[in-house]
Amino acid sequence: MNTAPHERPLPPVLPGSVALVGAGPGDPELLTLKALRCIQAAEVLLYDHLVGPQVLALVPGTAERIDVGKSRARHTLPQEEICRLLCHYARAGKRVVRLKGGDPLMFGRGGEEMEALRAAGIPFVVAPGITAALGASAAFHLPLTHREYASRCVFLSGHKKARDATQDDGSEEDWDALARPGQTLVFYMGIARLEHIRAALIAHGMPKETPAALIYKATLPDGRLWRCTLDTLLECARAESISPPALVIIGQVLESVKK
């Protein structure tokens, strides 16, 4: 009997293959059904520090768990070693799940892992996750686009690859384009570079009073939002001792929330 696509069983991760799975921004209710099915089928799980205990509680007790870390300050395993482990366990015939915070392909090195799996001839599936920006948008009722304020939204990484971390000259972004009105900027991993972000945007013409927000642990019980302006971003982050994981949102669209 033919079934409609939405009625077909979701493909779980098969033996000898890898699932790159997005755990979402924190709240386990934001997992996709596909992500949940992959997690429940895991025999080996490699996970990042952003994956919270409530999501990890869904992993079968029999699964081998490997904490591969990944934060700016603490790289438990180098990326090459993570790729090697994914291939190693898949070649051993395991159902391997690579679980990452948010979406695996959004600032999550999922691209590098897919390249390694492709090169090794190992089949893989991707179960997308709700990225932090969308989790924050929903949790704090912040639209990222709005017909009156922003017709575009840009997701950016606030920090650069280690090889050019010594050059803080702003040349890595098109700040002229980013400083233009009519768009919302969402910086991931931007907390350590707030001073640079503020200076670059103001130098390229964005008004100092442009509304901004700092969002910590969106969708989690201790999630918080602080409102400020482009000019006061750094002072706000310092005064509130805001640490990662946090997003920086900048744009006139934040005005819509005050209405």
Ligand X SMILES: C[S@@+](CC[C@H](N)C(=O)[O-])C[C@H]1O[C@@H](n2cnc3c(N)ncnc32)[C@H](O)[C@@H]1O
The nearest distance, CB 207 to ligand X, in angstroms, is 24
From residue 121 to residue 140, the character string flagging contacts with ligand X as x (rule: CB under 6 A) and all else as - is ----------xx--xx----
The nearest distance, CB 108 to ligand X, in angstroms, is 4
Q: Which of residues 172-201 bind ligand X (CB under 6 A)?
A: 188-189
Bin 222: left if φ > 0, else alpha if -120 < ψ < 50, else beta.
Answer: alpha
Q: Which of 197, 213, 126, 128 is nearest to 156 (CA)?
A: 197
> At 243, which amino acid appears?
S
The nearest distance, CB 138 to ligand X, in angstroms, is 11
User: Does residue 12 interact with ligand X by CB under 6 A?
Assistant: no
Q: Which of residues 36-75 bind ligand X (CB under 6 A)?
A: 50
User: Does residue 247 interact with ligand X by CB under 6 A?
Assistant: yes
Q: Which residues of 122-158 are buried (b: 16+ CB within 10 A; e: fewer)?
A: bebbbbbbbbbbbbbbebbebebebeebbeebbbbeb
The token pair that represents 65 in the structure block: 């768990």
The Cα–Cα gap between 89 and 33 comes to: 24
User: Does residue 113 interact with ligand X by CB under 6 A?
Assistant: no
Number of residues that bind ligand X (CB under 6 A): 25
Active centre residues (catalytic): 48, 70
Out of 17, 137, 183, 219, name the contact with ligand X by CB under 6 A. Answer: 219
The enclosing H or E element of 180 equals none
Binding residues vs ligand X (CB under 6 A): 25-26, 50, 100-103, 106-108, 131-132, 135-136, 188-189, 215, 217-220, 244-247
